[in-house]
Amino acid sequence: MVCMGTLAATACHRAFDGASDISVRHQITPQPIRIGPATVAVQLADGAKPVTDATIMVEADMSHPGMSPVFGPANEMAPGRYQAHINFNMGGDWVVLLHIKLADGRKIERQVDVRGVRTN
């Protein structure tokens, strides 16, 4: 029973870092976050050097089951700076997942808890 619990916890863990040398910074605007469109800005760097040519998909899920996730691809706006647009279609708690694939094939995932998306 303990082994199954450990396996389940490990299998559900969503943080993956195939490139621990890369820093990932994010910002969601507007603040406070409300129902409707939002911008997710992501900055990738290797030390002081921007990380270019990455592919980033932003996935936003409600924290409770039964809701379909929303997705938004990020475009590189400047070297190492990416931007995606998503739509928070309901108030409440959300989880935003950053699925990042670097140009060299390494993958990074980050999870951002977004609490209390406000109704308009």
Is residue 13 scored above 60 in pLDDT?
no
Between CA 51 and CA 30 the distance in angstroms is 25
Query: Residue 16: pLDDT band by 50, 70, 90 thresholds?
Result: low
The vertex-43 CA angle with 69 and 16, nearest 5°, equals: 55
pLDDT(18) > 70: no
* Mean pLDDT, range 8-34, rounded to an integer: 72
- What Rg do the C-alpha atoms of the chain give, in angstroms? 16
Predicted local confidence at residue 10, as pLDDT: 32
Q: How many residues does the chain have?
A: 120
Q: Tell me, what amino acid is at 31?
A: Q
